Amino acid sequence: MCLTDYFNYAFGITQDDDVVSLVIKLKRFTKIMSKNYKPGDRVIASTGKFKDKGGEVICSEVIGSQWAYIVKLDEQVTKEEILERDLEAEYLKLFEIDTEITKLKKLVNEKADKISDKVVKELPEHLTYLQKALESKEKLESENEYTYISKEMERVFGSELVQKNISLKKLEHCWKKLLK
């Protein structure tokens, strides 16, 4: 079997296909093959030079015949091009949720002298509520708690800190994508 025959066989292309049916078949094949990460999705590199590094998808592109994504890695300021085959969706395990919540509680305690006592008490309580909601997979409760926490932290600490905080991004991704 020559390469053309194999290509036609793999895509289900026949001599009777017109341009429209060819496009439909190619799009269907592309959707099946692609993990279809969207901007904002959290991913982890499973192989390659960025192995075990997590980050946020910025956009996708096709390089030759392969899908790739531009990913802003957590530890770096640069954006890296990573092939789709080297990426997996980030799924937080229970202990990882605990770790991210602990990091945020620590941040609140570190900044306690700059914020009111009421906020110092309320934010850790709501972080605990968020943790319980995520662990029990209660999407609506998770969303409500996350929204309150992020808005309150933005009000108290400023939007720049909230936008850069990786723990908040991971928790947001957790309730948005993983608790469907």
Between 166 and 8, the more confident residue is: 166
Distances (CA, A) of 98 to 43, 92, 141, 153: 19, 10, 17, 19
For the segment 67-86, what is each residue's pLDDT rounded down to a tens digit? 889 999 987 777 989 988 89
Q: How far apart (Å, rounded) are the C-alpha atoms in residues 152 and 159?
A: 10
Residue 22: exposure state from Cβ atoms within 10 A (0-12, 13-18, ≥19): middle
Lowest mean pLDDT across 59-68, 85-94, 162-171: 59-68
Question: 58 near 70, Cβ under 8 Å?
Answer: yes
CATH 2.30.30.30 residue ranges for the chain:
3-26+36-89
Q: How confident is the model at residue 21 (pLDDT cuts 50, 70, 90)?
A: low
CA dihedral for 159, 163, 166, 167, sign (positive or negative): positive
Pick from 143, 52, 43, 137: which is nearest to 94 by CA?
Answer: 137
CATH architecture classification, 3-26+36-89: Roll (2.30)
Lowest mean pLDDT across 14-18, 21-25, 147-151, 168-172: 21-25
